[in-house]
Amino acid sequence: MTVPSPSSVPGAIPASVDAVEPVLAEVVRSGFVEGRHRGALVALDADGSVAFSMGDVTRPVFPRSTTKPAQAVATLRAGVDLDGELLALAAASHSGEGFHLDGVRKILAAAGLDPAALRTPAQFPFGEQAFEDYLRGGKAPDPLVMNCSGKHAGWLAACVANGWDTETYLAPAHPLQQLVLRTIEELADERVAHLGVDGCGAPVPAISLTGLARLFRSMVSTCAGSPQRRVAAAMQAYPEYVAGTGRVDTLVMRGVPGLIAKMGAEGVQGVALPDGRALAFKVDDGGVRVLGPILAAALRRLGVDAPVLDEIAEVPLLGGGVQVGAIRAAFAA
């Protein structure tokens, strides 16, 4: 498959969408709704049929980092022997904590590389506590610290394993990126509608939310030992490596046995349950602070009951240091 460059893809997705999506979350302060977050959401039953949906779940969106589990599947298909926490890290948007950075170094070292091979932009840690600790240490932004460095390390290992060029591994026409694109299309069961550039510099394919939900369902629905199940098992066993301490993805994977979850920039979330139920949603304004409340309500509507859902169901709003409201889902669980 020949992958066109982002600028040459025909049928570019328009910058704005005319349809008004439903309200998924509300910002309620002192009993007054001061803000609303609109978007679209789809949930699949265990057999793959649509359980419920809100908004237009067929239009293409950039799923951003929610496709990292599929990108890790491509890494395995390229012949890289990753397992355990290092495989979870290949599917991660990590917080930049010490154990994350040590894991990235291990993946690179096993391929005979060092962090200088990374083509990630230099950044500070993604996690709040990790960011504060990093600043106290007087450290500068670093490509190793960028939240996608685990994925990139796995990709570089794939390049070494196959004799592919490691300098241009982010180019859309590179054999690695062609493999990644084919894998995403296969797992989503639809063709990529548009190709852009993600925050880490990698190609980002536009697919529908329904396709994204199918992608997550495929991670838990294939036979044991498949690359999809291996990635899912690693995420389930090592959720801190997929996200970080205190992050929503970590909390929900710890709190709901067998569940896998992956957030993405601009308010995207994908989830799969071990029985094949899955969901995906996107907040149109890109707000990630509402991911927990929307996710909790959607999982409850799918029939999930777990204490962790109470923990993520609301984001407190403070006034004078005291809680005066909350961000909460705007649809019935």
Q: How far does the chain reach from its first CA to its final CA, in angstroms?
A: 42
pTM of the model: 0.93
Residue 162 belongs to some domain of the structure: yes
pLDDT score, position 20: 87
CA dist 69 and 234 (Å) reads 10
Name residues whose C-beta falls within 8 Å of residue 29's C-beta, 6 or more positions apart in sequence: 317, 319, 324, 325
**Rounded average pLDDT over 16-20:** 62
Contact indicator for 24, 283 with CB cutoff of 8 Å: yes
Residue 13 belongs to some domain of the structure: no
Contact indicator for 262, 65 with CB cutoff of 8 Å: yes
Residue 15 belongs to some domain of the structure: no
**Rounded average pLDDT over 225-232:** 97
DSSP H/E element including 291? helix 291-301
Name residues whose C-beta falls within 8 Å of residue 82's C-beta, 6 or more positions apart in sequence: 72, 75, 76, 90, 107, 154, 157
> How many domains are there within the chain?
1
Domain span holding position 150: 21-329
Residue 2 belongs to some domain of the structure: no
Residue 46 belongs to some domain of the structure: yes
Contact indicator for 286, 265 with CB cutoff of 8 Å: yes
Residue 8 belongs to some domain of the structure: no
- The two tokens of residue 61 are 């969106």
pLDDT tens for residues 91-108? 999 999 999 999 999 999
Phi then psi for residue 60, to 5 deg, are -70, 145
% of the chain at pLDDT higher than 90: 90
pLDDT score, position 200: 98
pLDDT tens for residues 237-292? 999 999 999 999 999 999 999 999 999 999 999 999 999 999 999 999 999 999 99
3-state secondary structure (DSSP) of residue 24 = strand
pLDDT at 13 over 50: no
Question: 310: domain CATH number?
Answer: 3.40.710
Edge-to-edge strand order for the sheet containing 60-61?
Answer: 60-61, 203-208, 194-197
CA dist 40 and 61 (Å) reads 10
Q: pLDDT band for position 11 (50/70/90)?
A: very low
- The two tokens of residue 196 are 């852009």
Return the DSSP state at 139.
Answer: P
pLDDT at 1 over 70: no
Give me the helix-helix angle, 227-237 and 68-77, nearest 10°. 130
**Rounded average pLDDT over 161-189:** 98
235: nearest Cα among 54, 80, 120, 72: 72
Residue 186 belongs to some domain of the structure: yes
Spell out a b/e string for 57-78, using b for 16 or more CB atoms within 10 Å of the CB, else e.
bebbbbbbbbbbbbbbbbbbbb
Residue 198 belongs to some domain of the structure: yes
